[in-house]
């Protein structure tokens, strides 16, 4: 079991080794269009906004940590906060991997130091990603409701909303009685084939205190923390745009940032590289932001989010390396 995880870690490290020169080449590619000079110019011009933006991004990751802590506590595990926080942050040293799969190294860390079974830590990450998706969907729905309210308020729009609300309420009521554990376990085992070698169908059915995660108060807290953390990154993005006198709302900025991040992750490229940037630039252009600004602004927000947290994760991994890799 450990050999499988170590192999995955090794692949993640190799991906990161190749990722840095690819990223450098990607930014140098911009220079062909005269954008590299703009990037350096804007970094100087936006230094104040970048500083505060990084503060917002940092607070957002505190919210993500509290979210994960809430999930793992629901299973009945209460690891030492000081060490656990470093472990959690260290896992982000592998965030720039295909589909963020490198974050699964957290499972290995927690088992190594706190003896938390892999099935619990793995499911906590799956649950995190699920609520990241929920947050993106909520921001997208709010964006389209405000942007196209004249369509939403039509009779057809109201009918669709009514049907959607009815289905959602039905699901929330039934989730307390159906055996959703079997459904989720089946999906994980069938869709993530390599994980089937480590986690078995029955493991998820037998998760201790599993139903605690589906209590209304817990779901509300997790949803709020997810929305708040992504909203703070959207605010960091908005600061850059406002400084450059672009008329854009917080909701629009957050929608652009979250949607492009999700679609980039779905490509399974390391860090969603190229696709995330391309989608962000394209949506900004639809918002009448010229490509001369769109490309460098996108580069800056990616440096402030993806590469910033990867940097902090790498530092955390270095600090706690002796505890993690002892006897490995």
Longest Cα pair distance anywhere in the chain, in angstroms? 66
Asked if the model's pLDDT at residue 288 lies above 80, the reply is yes
Higher pLDDT, 194 or 86: 86
Query: In angstroms, rounded to a whole number, what is the distance separating the alpha carbons of residues 132 and 277?
Result: 19
Residues in a beta bridge with 98: 270
Q: Say what the pLDDT of residue 232 is.
A: 96
* Number of residues in the chain: 328
Q: Say what the pLDDT of residue 161 is.
A: 60
Highest mean pLDDT among 19-23, 85-89, 173-177, 261-265 belongs to 85-89
- Report pLDDT digits (tens) over 251-278: 999 999 998 888 887 776 666 777 788 8
Supply φ then ψ for residue 207, to 5 degrees: -60, 125
| CA-angle at 105, arms to 2 and 298, nearest 5° | 155
Banded model confidence at residue 34, pLDDT cuts 50, 70, 90: very low
Asked if the model's pLDDT at residue 21 lies above 90, the reply is no
Asked if the model's pLDDT at residue 11 lies above 70, the reply is no
Helices (H), the chain: 2-30, 35-45, 47-74, 81-90, 105-114, 118-147, 149-152, 155-174, 180-191, 201-205, 216-243, 250-266, 275-286, 291-302, 308-319, 321-325
Asked if the model's pLDDT at residue 28 lies above 80, the reply is no
Query: In angstroms, rounded to a whole number, what is the distance separating the alpha carbons of residues 142 and 144?
Result: 6
Contact 95, 103 (CB under 8 A): yes
Asked if the model's pLDDT at residue 49 lies above 90, the reply is yes
Banded model confidence at residue 192, pLDDT cuts 50, 70, 90: low
- Report pLDDT digits (tens) over 173-190: 554 444 445 555 555 555
Q: Say what the pLDDT of residue 205 is.
A: 47
Query: In angstroms, rounded to a whole number, what is the distance separating the alpha carbons of residues 326 and 328?
Result: 5
Tracing tokens 């892999």 back to the chain, one arrives at 118
Average pLDDT, stretch 58-76? 92
Q: Say what the pLDDT of residue 185 is.
A: 53
Contact 94, 102 (CB under 8 A): yes
The reply to whether the predicted model has a pTM over 0.75 is yes
Contact 291, 68 (CB under 8 A): no
Average pLDDT, stretch 93-118? 75
Tokens found for residue 120: 């619990």
Flag the least confident range among 28-42, 130-144, 252-266.
28-42
Banded model confidence at residue 56, pLDDT cuts 50, 70, 90: very high
- Report pLDDT digits (tens) over 208-247: 666 777 788 888 899 999 999 999 999 999 999 999 999 8
Contact 134, 226 (CB under 8 A): yes
Query: In angstroms, rounded to a whole number, what is the distance separating the alpha carbons of residues 19 and 16?
Result: 5
């Amino acid at each position: 079991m450990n050999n499988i995880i170590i192999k995955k870690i090794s692949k993640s490290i190799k991906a990161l080794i190749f990722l840095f020169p690819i990223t450098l080449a990607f930014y140098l590619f911009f220079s062909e269009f005269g954008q590299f000079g703009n990037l350096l110019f804007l970094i100087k011009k936006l230094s104040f906004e970048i500083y505060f933006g990084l503060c917002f991004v940092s607070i957002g990751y505190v919210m993500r940590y509290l979210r994960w802590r809430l999930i793992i506590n629901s299973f009945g595990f209460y690891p030492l906060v000081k060490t656990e926080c470093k472990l959690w942050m260290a896992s982000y040293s592998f965030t720039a991997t295909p589909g963020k799969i490198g974050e699964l190294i957290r499972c290995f860390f927690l088992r190594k130091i706190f003896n938390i079974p892999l099935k619990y830590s793995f499911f906590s990450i799956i649950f995190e990603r699920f609520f990241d998706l929920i947050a993106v969907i909520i921001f997208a729905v709010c964006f389209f409701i405000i942007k196209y309210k004249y369509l939403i308020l039509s009779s057809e729009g109201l009918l669709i909303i009514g049907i959607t609300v009815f289905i959602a309420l039905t699901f929330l009521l039934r989730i307390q009685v159906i055996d959703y554990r079997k459904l989720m376990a089946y999906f994980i085992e069938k869709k993530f084939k390599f994980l089937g070698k480590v986690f078995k169908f029955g493991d998820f059915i037998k998760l201790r205190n599993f139903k605690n995660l589906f209590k209304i108060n817990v779901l509300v807290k997790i949803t709020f923390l997810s929305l708040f953390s992504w909203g703070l990154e959207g605010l960091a993005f908005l600061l850059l745009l406002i400084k450059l006198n672009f008329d854009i709302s917080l909701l629009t900025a957050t929608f652009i940032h979250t949607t492009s991040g999700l679609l980039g992750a779905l490509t399974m490229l390391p860090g969603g590289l190229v696709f995330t940037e391309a989608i962000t630039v394209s949506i900004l252009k639809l918002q009448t932001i010229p490509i001369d600004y769109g490309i460098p602004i996108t580069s800056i927000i990616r440096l402030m989010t993806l590469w910033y947290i990867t940097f902090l994760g790498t530092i955390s991994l270095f600090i706690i390396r002796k505890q993690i890799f002892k006897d490995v």
